[in-house]
Each structure stands twice: as structure tokens, then as C-alpha cells.
Amino acid sequence: MRVVVATGRPDLGVALSLFLRERRIHVLDVLDDADEVLARTRNTRPDVVLVDWSLGEALSTRMVSDLMDGDDPTPVIILSTPHDRARAKACGAAGCATLGDHPDELVAALREVGPCAR
């Protein structure tokens, strides 16, 4: 599975990259700019985009809309805090994972919407 991570927190991006690579999930890139995420997604066609809700609700919602729209949508998993989970789930993403949950729940969420699920 190939994933692009969108987060404005470099430490979280590094941690997610290491964690996902240990689980044989290829992280194509960690980006903090919505336009870069959209361009990179169009160019590399990842299986899933993991969007950190801390980028902001408006920006995260726009990315979800742009990525999941069209003839060949890219599934999006929102990574949120327990406090923001309901709003994050309501934005239309394919799935949601919560910081603080067991890390394997993130892997399960990615695999649930990834290429084997389609």
C-alpha cells in the first residue's frame, strides 16, 4: 500500500513514516501544504492519503473533498484527536483514526479503504 501523509507537525510525520514502514506500508511523502498534497496525489496516485486534522478543519475538509471527488477518487483517512473525532468523521473521509488509540487501529483503517478493499 502506498500512502501520502499530510501533517503540519514534522515530528508526527517522521513518527508515522517510521511506524507505517515497519508495517510494510510505503509512505510516498509527508507534506504540510494542501496544494502539494493534491499535486503529489495526482502525480503518484497513492492508495490512501492520511490527513492530520490539526492542519485545520477547513483545510482538511477541502482536501477530503478534492481528493475524493471525480471519476477516480483517492480515499482519505483523517487522523484526529478524540475531541475532534466526530467533526473529522463528518467531513466525508473514507475513514477516521484517533491519536491515542492503539497504533494498529490506524493500520486497520488504512487497509480498510486501501487497494485490497476496493
pLDDT in tens, 28-63: 999 998 889 999 998 999 999 999 998 888 998 999
Tell me how many domains the chain contains: 1
In angstroms, the CA 61 to CA 87 distance is 10
Confidence class of residue 115 from pLDDT cuts 50, 70 and 90? confident
The mean pLDDT value of the chain amounts to 90
CA distance 45 to 48: 9
pLDDT of residue 116: 65
CATH of the domain at 67: 3.40.50.2300
Tens-digit pLDDT profile for residues 3-21:
999 999 999 999 999 999 9
Q: What range does the domain containing 52 cover?
A: 2-117
CA 111, chain centre distance (Å): 12
Task: Beginning with the edge strand found earlier in the chain, give each strand of the sheet holding 95-98 in spatial order.
Answer: 26-31, 2-6, 48-52, 76-80, 95-98
pLDDT for the residue numbered 117: 56
Q: Which pLDDT does position 28 carry in this prediction?
A: 96
- Quote the Cα angle for 53-30-50, to 5°: 40
Residues 6+ apart with CB under 8 A from 89: 78, 96
